[in-house]
């Protein structure tokens, strides 16, 4: 945030701890104070190389007192590389800076951005498509009964499926079976992951309306916003999207033209909390709700908890993946403490400085270590 630091700061050292799936970042200032962040998941071994070659050199030994300026400077210096990978790397620096500032000020990040600690309602987010409608309904019912979830999201279509279903008839069955089994008083949502052409999405969306589903996420290929706009205009239920988008020009168009009813930026894809706050503010001014994407139990979900509590146009629920080691084996033992204990359908942000979590020493010891330092 502009002018958030009392004094100019200099970053002395940036260290990364990396696997193929995730890369943690440790930031050290000249006075020895530190903060921890994370780059976006998936092919993090590639992203960490970009971090050390295209992010770290622009900030080591430089004085900054403005998060926005720091991010903008990096993007200007790397103007020939405006896409996803540089922003995935930038997220590691940005989230580490927010953690550092929270530790320095002895405040949780959400308080730094005007939010409060406390309970965060979550929706149980299924990632699976290789599951029958009956089995999906049964496992969601168990989660409802065991953990008190009041909202659920499940998958329709095939991911980027060019109009095809995961298998014939699955989507039509699951939008009937799951809502029926979950019963009334439960919020039901679906995710198309860029599967459908607009006419298909509209037809299926009308059936969703008849089955008490209120949220249709990414119905059409996200790179075809005019297709999505047709669905938004045609359906009564909320059409949502934006998880893949990281270019501010695209966000401006999406918000100005109301391509979707609800925006869903991903903090790690966006380049960090700072840029995500900028998108949320744009949406707030247009009276559009922001319900971010957070599809795995890495630091992205922790950061999104703080983000949601700190913006005024947040949706009612945080996305919370229900998948375990069979789907996300790389999540195992990532953190020393467990920030993901669900009770009565809610997580908690404790009054702990920064993000309030620590990466596991055991996990760090097994990761590939690299560093960039002032003067190298």
Q: How far apart are CA 255 and CA 275, in angstroms?
A: 15
> Exposure of 371 by Cβ count < 10 A (0-12 exposed, 13-18 middle, 19+ buried)?
middle
| pLDDT tens readout for residues 210-238 | 999 999 999 999 999 999 999 999 999 99
Q: What is the pTM of this model?
A: 0.95
How many CB atoms within 10 Å of residue 172? 15
Measured CA to CA in angstroms, residue 308 lies from 154, 215, 305, 319, 353 at distances of: 22, 18, 5, 11, 17
pLDDT of residue 8: 72
| pLDDT tens readout for residues 299-311 | 999 999 999 999 9
Tokens for 123?
Answer: 């929706």
Secondary structure (DSSP) of 131-198:
S-HHHHHHHHHHHHHHH---EEEEE-S-TT-TT--SSTTHHHHHHHHHHHHH-TT-EEEEE-TT---H
- For the chain, the average pLDDT equals 96
| pLDDT tens readout for residues 131-188 | 999 999 999 999 999 999 999 999 999 999 999 999 999 999 999 999 999 999 999 9
pLDDT band at 189 (very low <50, low <70, confident <90, very high): very high
Q: How far apart are CA 161 and CA 177, in angstroms?
A: 22
Q: What is the DSSP letter of 129?
A: S
With a cut of 70, say whether residue 376 has pLDDT above it: no
- Domain residue spans in the chain? 9-106+361-373, 111-349
pLDDT band at 197 (very low <50, low <70, confident <90, very high): very high
pLDDT band at 1 (very low <50, low <70, confident <90, very high): very low
pLDDT of residue 2: 42
Phi, psi of 298 (to 5 degrees): -110, -160
Residue with tokens 């953690």: 99
CATH architecture of 111-349: Alpha-Beta Barrel (3.20)
pLDDT band at 63 (very low <50, low <70, confident <90, very high): confident
Residue with tokens 């200007």: 76
CATH architecture of 9-106+361-373: 2-Layer Sandwich (3.30)
Query: What is the pLDDT averaged over residues 355-363?
Result: 97
């Amino acid at each position: 945030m502009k002018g958030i630091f009392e004094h100019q700061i200099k970053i002395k050292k940036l260290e990364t701890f990396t696997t193929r799936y995730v890369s943690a970042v440790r930031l050290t200032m000249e006075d020895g104070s530190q903060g921890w962040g994370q780059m976006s998941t998936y092919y993090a071994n590639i992203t960490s190389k970009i971090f050390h070659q295209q992010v770290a050199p622009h900030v080591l030994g430089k004085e900054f007192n403005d998060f926005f300026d720091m991010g903008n400077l990096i993007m200007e210096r790397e103007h020939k590389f405006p896409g996803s990978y540089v922003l995935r790397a930038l997220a590691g620096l940005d989230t580490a800076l927010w953690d550092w500032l929270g530790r320095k000020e002895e405040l949780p990040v959400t308080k730094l951005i005007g939010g409060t600690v406390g309970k965060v309602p979550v929706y149980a987010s299924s990632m699976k498509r290789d599951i029958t409608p009956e089995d999906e309904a049964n496992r969601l019912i168990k989660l409802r009964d065991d953990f008190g979830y009041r909202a659920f999201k499940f998958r329709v279509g095939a991911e980027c499926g060019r109009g095809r279903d995961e298998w014939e008839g699955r989507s039509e069955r699951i939008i009937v079976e799951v809502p029926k089994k979950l019963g009334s008083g439960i919020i039901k949502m679906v995710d198309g992951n860029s599967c459908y052409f607009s006419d298909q999405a509209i037809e299926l969306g009308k059936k969703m309306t008849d089955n008490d589903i209120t949220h249709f996420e990414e119905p059409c290929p996200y790179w075809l916003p005019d297709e999505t706009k047709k669905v938004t205009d045609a359906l009564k239920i909320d059409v949502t999207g934006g998880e893949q988008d990281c270019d501010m020009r695209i966000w401006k168009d999406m918000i100005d033209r109301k391509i979707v009813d609800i925006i869903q930026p991903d903090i790690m894809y966006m380049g960090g909390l700072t840029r995500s706050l900028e998108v949320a503010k744009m949406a707030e001014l247009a009276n559009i709700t922001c319900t971010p994407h957070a599809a795995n139990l890495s630091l992205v979900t922790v950061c999104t908890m703080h983000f949601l509590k700190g913006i005024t146009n947040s949706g009612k629920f945080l996305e919370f993946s229900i998948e375990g080691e069979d789907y996300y084996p790389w999540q195992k033992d990532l953190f020393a403490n467990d920030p993901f204990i669900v009770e009565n359908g809610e997580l908690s942000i404790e009054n702990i400085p920064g993000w309030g979590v620590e990466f596991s020493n055991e996990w760090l010891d097994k990761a590939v270590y690299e560093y960039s330092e002032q003067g190298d």
